[in-house]
Amino acid sequence: MADVLFPVYNNFFIGAYQACVNEAAEMTNLSGADAIERDCYMYRAYIALGSYQMVIDEITDESATSLQAIKLLATHASRAHEREDCVARVTELLADSALANNPWLQLSAALMHAADDNIVEAMKCCHTGLSLELMGLMCHLLIKIDRPELAAKHLAAMQAADDDATLTQLATAWVNLANGGGKIQDAFYVYQELGDKYQWTSKLHNGSAVCQMAMGRYDDAEKDLVEAINKDSKDPDTLRNLAVCALHLGKPTTRFVNQLKTLTPRPAAIEQLEALEKAFEVANESYAAAPAEVEA
């Protein structure tokens, strides 16, 4: 990535989405590949801010293929009834040999598959990618399926490519957290360093809070999460982590769960919770309907 775009993509990676948009808006003198790269990050930041329709409206059929991929990503995230069509379309584009190595197509396809919990297909999209973000996503996916030792190998490739990159530092924190033990403290220091070096965002506060919870420091984690919720009151990660933290502190979780239920798109945590509640109700009804055993 061009150094001129550092303020744009770096703000995106640490979760400073409005700052990413603002920086992109000031770079009016870019053209060609740099302009497309700038716009891809800018529109992804808008997606993270929930401005899906604006992204869909502004990216036209005449836009570059990379931007078309971002439009599909916005559509997939905001229109449940079009999710299958979006995956089919990005798969069709990747089947074109002239487009197969487009990193934005690969990334968009991987993110869609990951959002649909289709981890194997998501990893296939990352596997041949050479961009730092695709390697970082591969680390994240491997950790998600509890393979931190494989994630560490991909992290080594990221470190060889750019050891100082913010995304490499974040991936280092993910792998360290997944490995547990003394590595959790190292992960915590990564988030502290990034927050102090750039700016504290909801994303960085959440990373710090998860490390604190993993070390059993729930009071400190709660302080981080309060800072995060003050920056973004509708962030699903913050609300979910607040619920977990409150549970361990013996505090009510209802408010956080109810707030999660109001969000659009619906967070996966709520779908999982409701599935568990339904399964419990079915089991409870079956137990109640079963004839009582007669004591001898």
- Which phi and psi (to 5°) does residue 68 adopt? -60, -35
Tens of pLDDT, residues 229-242: 999 998 999 999 99
Q: Is the pLDDT of residue 221 over 70?
A: yes
- Residue pair 112/87 in contact (Cβ under 8 Å)? The answer is yes
**Does residue 274 surpass a pLDDT of 70?**
yes
Residue 222 lies in a domain: yes
> For position 282, which CATH number holds?
1.25.40.10
What mean pLDDT do residues 209-238 have? Answer: 95
Confidence of residue 211 (pLDDT cuts 50, 70, 90): very high
Domain, as residue range, for 240: 200-286
> Which two three-digit tokens encode residue 241?
């982590």
Report yes or no on 158 lying in a domain: no
Question: Locate tokens 């974040």: which residue?
Answer: 170
Mean confidence (pLDDT) of the chain: 93
Domain count, the chain: 1
8: nearest Cα among 159, 162, 166, 114: 166
Indicate the pLDDT class of residue 98, thresholds 50, 70 and 90. very high
Is residue 82 domain-resident? no
Mean pLDDT to the nearest integer, 42-52: 96
What is the distance, to the nearest Å, from the Cα of residue 30 to the centroid of all Cα atoms in its chain? 28
- Confidence check: pLDDT of 1 > 50: no
Give pLDDT, residue 289.
74
Arithmetic mean of pLDDT, 90-100:
95
pLDDT on residue 293: 59
Q: Please tell me the predicted confidence (pLDDT) of residue 118.
A: 96
pLDDT for 25 beyond 60 = yes
Asked whether residue 221 is domain-assigned, the answer is yes
pLDDT at res. 165: 96
**Residue 276, domain member (yes or no):** yes
Q: Is 140 a member of any domain?
A: no
Q: Is residue 271 part of a domain?
A: yes
Burial 132-146 (b: 16+ CB within 10 A, else e): bbbbbbbbbbbbbee
Q: Is the pLDDT assigned to residue 55 strictly greater than 90?
A: yes
Q: Is residue 93 in a domain?
A: no
Taking CB atoms within 8 Å and a gap of at least 24, the contacts of 20-24 are 20/45, 21/45, 21/46, 21/49
At residue 296, does pLDDT exceed 50?
no
Q: What pLDDT does residue 38 have?
A: 97
What pLDDT, in 10s, does the model give residues 109-148? 999 999 999 999 999 999 877 899 999 999 999 999 999 9
The 3-class secondary structure across the chain, one letter per residue, is CCHHHHHHHHHHHHCCHHHHHHHHHHCCCCCHHHHHHHHHHHHHHHHHCCCHHHHHHHCCCCCCHHHHHHHHHHHHHHCHHHHHHHHHHHHHHHCCCCCCCCHHHHHHHHHHHHHCCCHHHHHHHHHCCCCHHHHHHHHHHHHHCCCHHHHHHHHHHHHHHHCCCHHHHHHHHHHHHHHCCCHHHHHHHHHHHHHHHCCCCHHHHHHHHHHHHHCCCHHHHHHHHHHHHHHCCCCHHHHHHHHHHHHHCCCCCHHHHHHHHCCCCCCHHHHHHHHHHHHHHHHHHHHHHCCCCCCC
Q: What is the value of pTM for the model shown?
A: 0.90
Residues 6+ away with beta carbon under 8 Å from 127 = 138
Report pLDDT digits (tens) over 28-40.
999 999 999 999 9
Please give the share of the chain, as a percent, with pLDDT higher than 70: 97
pLDDT of residue 277 exceeding 70: yes
Instruction: Kindly provide the b/e burial profile for residues 228-265, where b requires at least 16 CB atoms within 10 angstroms of the residue's own CB.
Output: bbebbeebbbbbbbbbbbbeeeeeeeeebbebbeeeee
